[in-house]
């Protein structure tokens, strides 16, 4: 999947197509109700949760509304032109669900390796949304989870 993204990004750059790529991490609505359980098909009700790794690895969860707010704000912003806008706040198609092994690989990358939080953004090719648009209030994981109980 990442290889396809890289090919598309390279083609846009080579053709000179103006663009802003919005990159978020986990959606609140997809992962949090299932408590990060990649194999779950709905919210947990049995009171049991499997914690990947030692439970201390940080991950990034972004509310879908926040992704929309940052995306709309970036549309006419020259700072984001031809760059990647990374949404790192504290970020399924029903007819085509991800295969379980792919979901588990993403969960492993995030919760075991911490691959979401160890990224440096090169200012030549990217910008971090909450820094660029500091006036936008994003929905925290705690705020989202409080709506589930």
Q: Which residue, chain included where needed, has tokens 């588990």?
A: 104
**SS3 (DSSP) at 98:** coil
CA distance 94 to 104: 18
Distances (CA, A) of 7 to 21, 23, 80: 13, 16, 20
CA distance 143 to 132: 22
In what order do the strands lie in the sheet containing 20-23?
Answer: 20-23, 83-86, 126-128
CA distance 39 to 71: 29
Q: Is 5 a catalytic residue?
A: yes
What is the set of active-site residues? 5
């Amino acid at each position: 999947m990442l290889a396809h993204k890289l090919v598309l990004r390279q083609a846009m750059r080579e053709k000179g197509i103006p663009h802003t790529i919005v990159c978020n991490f986990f959606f609140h609505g997809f992962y949090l109700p299932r408590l990060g359980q990649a194999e779950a098909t709905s919210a947990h009700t049995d009171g049991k949760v499997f914690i990947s790794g030692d439970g201390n690895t940080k991950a990034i969860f972004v509310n879908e509304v926040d992704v929309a707010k940052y995306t709309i704000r970036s549309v006419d912003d020259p700072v984001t032109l031809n760059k990647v806008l990374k949404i790192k706040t504290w970020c399924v198609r029903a007819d085509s669900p991800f295969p379980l092994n792919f979901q588990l690989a993403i969960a492993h990358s995030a919760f075991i390796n911490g691959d979401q939080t160890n990224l440096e953004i090169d200012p030549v090719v990217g910008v971090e949304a909450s820094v660029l648009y500091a006036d936008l209030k994003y929905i925290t994981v705690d705020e989202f989870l409080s709506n589930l109980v």
